[in-house]
Structure 1
Amino acid sequence: MLLSVVVTAHRVQGYLRAALESVTGQADAGDCELIVVTAPGGGLELGIAREFAERDPRVQVLPLDRPWERGAARNAGASAARGSYLLFLDGQDLLLPGAAAEIAACLTPHAPGRSDPAGPPAEAPGTPDVLRLGHDRIDLWDRTRQGDALPHARSQIFRRAFWEAHALRFTEGLYDDVVPVHRALLLAADAGTLGTLDRICVRHRVRGTGAPATARDRAHFVVVQAYERLAAETGGDPRVTAVRSAHLTAVLDDPGRIAPGDRAAFFRAAGLPGRYTAQRARRAALAGRARARSAARAGRKSLRAQVMRAAYRADLHRPLDPCLAVYGAYWNRGVACNPAAVYAKARELVPHIRGVWVVSSRHRDRMPPDVPYVIEGSRAYWRTMATATYLVNNSSFPGGFTKRPGQVYLQTHHGTPLKTMGLDQRPYPALTNGVSFERIAAHAGQWDFSLSANPHSTEIWDRVYPSSCEQLPYGYPRNDLLCSATPELSGKVRAELGIAPGATVLLYAPTHRDYRTGFLPRLDLDRLAAELGPDWVLLVRAHYFYGRSSGTAAGDRVVDVTGHPRVEELCLASDALITDYSSLMFDYACLDRPVITYAPDWEAYRAARGTYVDLLSGRPGDTPGAVATTEAGLREVLLSGAWRAPEAEALRAAFRARFCPYDDGHAAERVVRRVFGVSSD
């Protein structure tokens, strides 16, 4: 076996699947093995790794038998390896397409396209002991002139016999690759067995907030000790001095690693030349210019906004109210979605905590008379945001509030992701309308809890909203109603909508298109209603971006329900859902009722925004039921009964198993007990 790829998998649940696929999916990766090392217990990463191992004999899963340390995990993987060469990757790294073939060409004697290192032959003639790879790093080191001198295990391939002969091992803690990687490079360079592959083979994706390497604390002082150990093990090699200075300066210059109060101590511990006071003066000058720019921007704001912000800054010095929670939903549209369900359950389980909603002035008429609220941007809003202990939202709070120590922020989200979200939207800049991805990351960094409806969501949220928050795999509280609904409740909602008993009700709920303005259904609703006959009713709900579903007919059998306050009740009233790419399909699956995918522009939608699930594939778990891509096809699905045929039921069951594993009617209770600290006794 030529190559053993060791992947360490800890707190990378949103990245790991793509990382493993980048190795197993290589066209020329047949002569390799993939060893995935997980933490004890493993969490979601262990489940993902086992999925790959079950379907690919080249994949080996190795749970660590001690508390997690990346260095120990790498060492365990190296000990279990059987390949002639070792490549160490992190769980968020990608082996780029075609890299395996290029690497094999360099490591196989006399292979066409082989890159021969200069100097004496290696253990196997013509092949290196250490092969340096071109690498694409999306991290701190890309911004340093000496980046190529800095140690990254992912950027080298090591002959296993060479690794073992020199007793190379990763150290514990941060910067675990400083000693072994530099030692290997120096040894191979001295022996003339250091090769280079001038091709980008590995891409490193940085987690952002919450990743250990970017945590700002004194743990980063260990890099100084790592270089002291390296100097001792190499006999004071002068080449170590040069890379040491480059690396320690880079760590010091990174504001995400060394806190301001620790900079002088790190500077002294590192023994860097020059005076820290001069460096601090330079930083102060830069900060002063930044403050001046901020003041200029503030000067352009309205006087009222400035007054409100000043009052808010004053309120930030007030003590937090342990009995105050603030809620928001859909960018201040009123009481809705998961926050509404959490609010209702909190009133039951923690009645001493007063809940206040944030609503925009244009939506204040939607507020129930018995629900306290504040208008966004008002004096009451800013005081509430400054003093509330609990913050609950399914989108974001307006105005750029400052999250205080002691505040607890629950992000509930508002759907299972089908289309790309968060940082995954970066390849589609034309459709993000100037969205600031830095702000997305900063907002996610404020969260303490992120709610997920299913394992798929947990993976996606973890990657696209980088944060150190706790993922809550509890299900969506808004779906508790769907899980516990009775026929009596469904009948009550139908009666309120004026639906005659015995009618077959279809809920048509298409989603928003980034590349289209206004609601324009790709469906002649009047014609469909006429062809289905008098015993059928179409409930039409446009996306909330559009307001009302203009263009739909009035009457008893085509009913515009866009303005209905609770989509969950519309789901209960219906016998089946017709949708295209709306996340409502994932919630509707809780009901175990038919879902019909009507996707007339699937390829355009995927190209414009990107998707995580292939609805039209027909694969169990991806496709929720019957599929139509034309109006004629949809009519055939409905009139022939294919929408509730055994084949559609089997697809629905697999879809429901994948996306509704937590839905049991008690999600709101689990959330309230965890976030508000309520005992289950």
Structure 2
Amino acid sequence: MPLLSVVLPVYRVQAYLRECLDSILEQAFTDVEVIAVDDCSPDHSGAILDEYASRDERVKVVHLDHNVGLGEARNAGMKHVTGEFVWFIDSDDWIAPGALAAVADRLIAADPDVLMVDYAKVWWNNNSRRSKFSSLVRSENLPRVFTLAEHPNMIRVFHVAWNKIYRRRFLLDNEITYPTGLYEDVPVGYPVLILADRMAVLDRVCIYYRQRRRGAITSTPGRRHFEVFGQYDLLFQHLDKIGERAEPFRALVFGRMLYQCLLVLENRERVAKGDRREFFGALTDAYRRHLPRGGYQPPGGTEGRRQRVAASGSYALWRILWFALTLAGAGRSWAGRAQRTVRLRSRLRMLYYRFQVRRPIDPQLAVFSAYWGKGYECNPRAVYEKMGELAPGVRGVWEVKPGAEGTMPPGVATVTMGTLEHYRTMARAKYLVTNVNFGGWVIKRRDAVHLSTNHGTPVKAMGVDQLKFPAGIQGMNMNWLLKRCDRWTYSVSPNAYTTEVWERAYPCDYETLETGYPRNDRLATATPADVQAARERLGLQPGQVAVAYLPTYRDYEFGSDALLNVERFIDRMPAETVLLVRVHHFDRSHVSGTHPRVIDLGGYPSVEDIYLAADALITDYSSVMFDYAVLDRPLAIYAADWKKYKANRGAYLDVFTEGPGVAARTESELVDLFVSGEVFGETAAATRKVFRDRFCYLDDGHAAERVVRRVFLNEPARALTDAGAVPPVHTEQLQELRSVIDDSQPVDPSAAEDETDIAEEPSAVVGR
């Protein structure tokens, strides 16, 4: 029997679930079991739980056949608990490092019925704030164990489930279960404190309470927030059942009810404007219904004034008070907004755009853009072409930068960015499709559809995850980025892994289209004739072996020495080998035009041609590895600055243990992999298969069709996997393959990580 059982209800948290599970399972304290309850989650959460359970016997998964809500999910998990103590954790939060050991020590030392711990709120922008728990504990001068009767002020501890650890026997003996509905913590949080004979505290932050920017029910306006009154009705029924032991605390609980319900009312993210009068009336009714028989004395100050207004039943008086309390802050906000509006409207073109926005929307007009108007490419191109087949009634127009009009294929309509025609088109189009983001001035019209196709499977940290790595942000305004992402109606994802990342990195209200990337349809359906045509377009000769080198951009530094010395590398390759070099479009610091066997393709418009023409690929942390893997050709990762990159830019994957094919830290190792033929060997192919199974399972040539049918024809996207299924990660198989590589190619631990010198070795024929 473990000392501690963690009950983890899970519903639509695929973006955060791994962080939560890792925070528990990777701690030094291991005498813990995790009872994870899949509350019929419609995303990949259930499969993620199964993945963890398959590799850690401490994880037990309970799959519910229908959604029951947080309270009932906790009850379902409780039936499987075997530990002496139980901790209910919300699956989008996470446990602080070392917290399990600290909790275990306090449980053993105090032997409590209830142990209360501290927490910190953490917002999407990484701002955090510790709760008032610590100041409350210190002001009470608490002994090791105590009762609520001895320290009644502890009723002010936040009434949620996850900041308390309970003795399992205590919960069972008192028949404590959670109710259904929102605010389910209310009828439990106060009675457990009243009933406990032994309470203890741990004055340490043990939980990080995630404040989600979007998606949390507590920050979603709606009628469900009226459920708080039903939960308080149930709470006072429980107090009646407890009897005399609860009477000394009834007024305290009544005050907490007023405090919480007023917070809900005054939160614009909970009670909609049209419901506020009704909610206030319900609060007044609750006040009169639960007013203690001995009366109630409101506290002093602002809180007391708020509560007295609630008791009065005057909605008009509450409106005046609320306005007075918020006037100063709102005034500053309005002033800043007015100044921005004046600056914006001083621009005649913006005035013209805003005039056009007020005109009727064109339901058959779609604007396409790739890389901020760079040209005709990537996912938008694939969607545009498939739209022409399946939705020919929709007219597609591409926005392009001035001077780029001549690069577009014949018959493709364009509009030049910055012209009046451009502003008019952007204002009137129903559909706006891009693989990056449209300018901040673009307004999301009520009936418009914005499709973000994105342009890569992420290896490096993206969106709000970049806030943890300030060296790579380079002055980015994350708040403005997310405001642009708020316009998305749909976001395209190539696989379940990316869906998890996007939902966490871009916490906005959009529908994820997990369809595969449309641009990879061309790779999935390529024929030998397509490959030959691509090679001819690049000027490759018969018999030449083409190796593509496509590195990513180091946004924390320029001219990085971590890039491959292409001339030195190609000199060590056989004479028939040609290196195709295409650096990131943000990086022009490493281009060679002098070596006869190095072809600079930095300005070449189609990366897909390079994929098709290349017999093998070398990259580092670029998303090109996922695209090229569709072709199932040899792949090598050259990661000379891996530690520096992880520290400055952040990474979701370990390219040495989770990457495709083979990996090298130095140029010498990279040359060895090619000279020995290992990059083309069976072990590399097996590792590549694991990678493809995990990331490329949707690349069947129909991704663009799925997107077009959902966006332009309003049909459901046709999923290729079962609902909620995640392709197997094959963790053990991958580790076994990596161990084979490690055994066959031992790495000298003394080798410098950023080594660029290549040992003088005889060349060998590069196999295919």
Residue type at the aligned position of 2:675? L
Do the aligned partners of residues 137 and 308 (structure 1) sit closer, same or farther apart at CA in structure 2, a change above 3 Å counting? Answer: same
Tell me the residue number matched to 2:116.
132
**C-alpha distance in structure 2 between counterparts of 1:674 and 1:424, whole Å:** 29
For 1:572 and 1:220, locate their aligned partners in 2 and report how far apart those are by CA, in whole Å: 55
For 1:424 and 1:586, how far apart are their aligned partners in 2? 21
Q: Are 1:207 and 2:212 matched, yes or no?
A: yes
Q: Give the Cα–Cα distance (whole angstroms) in 2 for the partners of residues 308 and 231 of structure 1.
A: 61
Matches within 5 A, 1:124-163: 127-138=111-122, 149-163=157-171
Call closer, same or farther: CA 1:308–1:163 in 2, change over 3 Å. farther
Q: Structure 1 residues 273, 402: CA separation in 2 closer, same or farther (over 3 Å shift)?
A: farther
Deviating more after overlay: 649-658 vs 552-561: 552-561
Check the 8 A contact 2:591/2:600 in 1, yes or no. no
The answer to whether the 8 Å contact 1:207/1:463 transfers is no
**One-letter code of the match for 1:631?**
E
SS class of match (1:310): helix
Q: Using the TM superposition, give the Cα deviation of residue 520 of structure 1 relative to its aligned residue in structure 2, in angstroms.
A: 6.3
- Is the 1:209–1:445 contact (alpha carbons within 8 Å) kept by the matching residues of 2? no
- The CA deviation at 1:491 is 0.9
Displacement, 1:63? 1.4
One-letter amino acid of the counterpart of residue 328, structure 1:
S
Any idea what SS the aligned residue of 1:532 has? coil
- Of the three residues 680, 685, 688, the one matched with 1:649 is 685
User: Given that residues 119 and 131 in structure 2 are in contact (C-alpha distance below 8 angstroms), is that contact kept between their aligned partners in structure 1?
Assistant: no
Q: Is the 8 A contact 1:144 1:250 kept in 2?
A: no
- The offset of 1:266, in angstroms, is 2.2
**Aligned-partner residue type, residue 508 of structure 2:** S
Contact 1:525 1:553 survives alignment (8 Å): no
Contact 2:435 / 2:452 at 8 angstroms: preserved in 1? Answer: yes
Q: Distance in 1 between matches of 2:205 and 2:590?
A: 52
The answer on whether the counterparts of 2:8 and 2:36 sit within 8 Å (CA) in structure 1 is yes
> C-alpha separation between the residues in 2 aligned to 1:467 and 1:411?
12
Match of 1:98, as an amino acid?
Answer: G
Alignment of 1:239-638 (within 5 A): 239-271=252-284, 272-274=307-309, 275-282=317-324, 283=326, 286-301=329-344, 303-304=346-347, 307-361=348-402, 363-518=404-559, 522-546=563-587, 548=588, 551-554=591-594, 556-617=596-657, 622-638=658-674
Contact 2:435 2:453 in 1 (8 A): yes
Structure 1 residues 566, 165: closer, same or farther in 2, change over 3 A?
same
- Structure 1 distance, partners of 2:567, 2:558, is 22
Distance 1:211 1:334, change over 3 A: farther
Cα separation, 2, equivalents of 1:278 and 1:310: 36
Amino acid at match of 1:501: P
2:697 is aligned with 1:661: yes
Of residues 211-220 and 411-420 in structure 1, the stretch that sits farther from structure 2 once superposed is 211-220
Counterpart CA distance in 2 for 1:443 and 1:132 is 41
Deviation at 1:498, TM superposition (A): 1.4
Match of 1:73 in 2: 73
SS of alignment partner, residue 547 of structure 2: strand
C-alpha deviations, 1:385-428, integer Å up to 9, x for none? 33322222211111332322222222221111101111111111
Pair 1:164-2:164 in alignment: no
User: Relative to structure 1, is the Cα distance of residues 227 and 374 closer, same or farther in structure 2, using a 3 angstrom cutoff?
Assistant: farther
By how many angstroms is 1:519 displaced?
7.2
The verdict on how the C-alpha distance between 1:169 and 1:505 changes in structure 2, with shifts beyond 3 A counting, is: same
Give 1:174's aligned amino acid.
Answer: L
Give the corresponding residue for 1:640: 676
Distance 1:520 1:648 in 2: 27
The corresponding residue for 1:111 is: none
Structure 1 distance, partners of 2:524, 2:190, is 57
Task: Report if the CA contact (8 A) 2:521-2:701 is conserved.
Answer: yes
Offset at residue 672 of structure 1 (A): 0.8
Matched, 1:100 2:143: no
Using the TM superposition, give the Cα deviation of residue 609 of structure 1 relative to its aligned residue in structure 2, in angstroms. 0.9
User: Which residue matches 1:676?
Assistant: 712
**C-alpha spacing 1:426/1:444, structure 2 compared with 1 (3 Å):** same
Q: Matched residue of 1:151: which SS? A: coil
Kept in 2: contact 1:541–1:549 (CA 8 A): no
Structure 2 stretches of 5 or more lacking a match?
Answer: 137-155, 241-246, 285-306, 310-316, 719-768
What is the identity, as a one-letter code, of the residue corresponding to 1:163?
L
- Structure-2 change in CA distance of 1:375 and 1:498 (3 Å): same
**1: distance between equivalents of 2:520 and 2:560?**
26
Q: Deviations over 1:3-53 (max 9, x none)?
A: 2211111110011112112112222122x2211111336541111111111
Letter in 2 for 1:331: W
TM, length-normalised to structure 1 = 0.91
Check the 8 A contact 2:469/2:648 in 1, yes or no. yes
Q: Is the 8 A contact 2:471 2:649 kept in 1?
A: no
Please report the RMSD computed on the Cα atoms of aligned residues, expressed in angstroms.
2.5
Change (3 A) 1:525 1:11: same
Report how far residue 551 of structure 1 moved. Answer: 4.0
CA distance in 1, matches of 2:489, 2:342: 33
Asked if the contact 2:121/2:130 (under 8 Å) is kept, the reply is no
Q: What is the rounded CA distance, in whole Å, between the counterparts of 1:591 and 1:371 in structure 2?
A: 29
Measured against aligned partners, the alpha-carbon deviations of 1:86-135 in whole angstroms (never above 9, x if no partner) come to 21111111122211111111222xxxxx3x4xxxxxxxxxx211111111
Change (3 A) 1:227 1:309: farther
Bigger drift between 574-583 and 247-256 goes to 247-256
| C-alpha displacement of 1:269 | 2.2
**Counterpart contact for 1:342–1:477, Cα < 8 Å:** yes
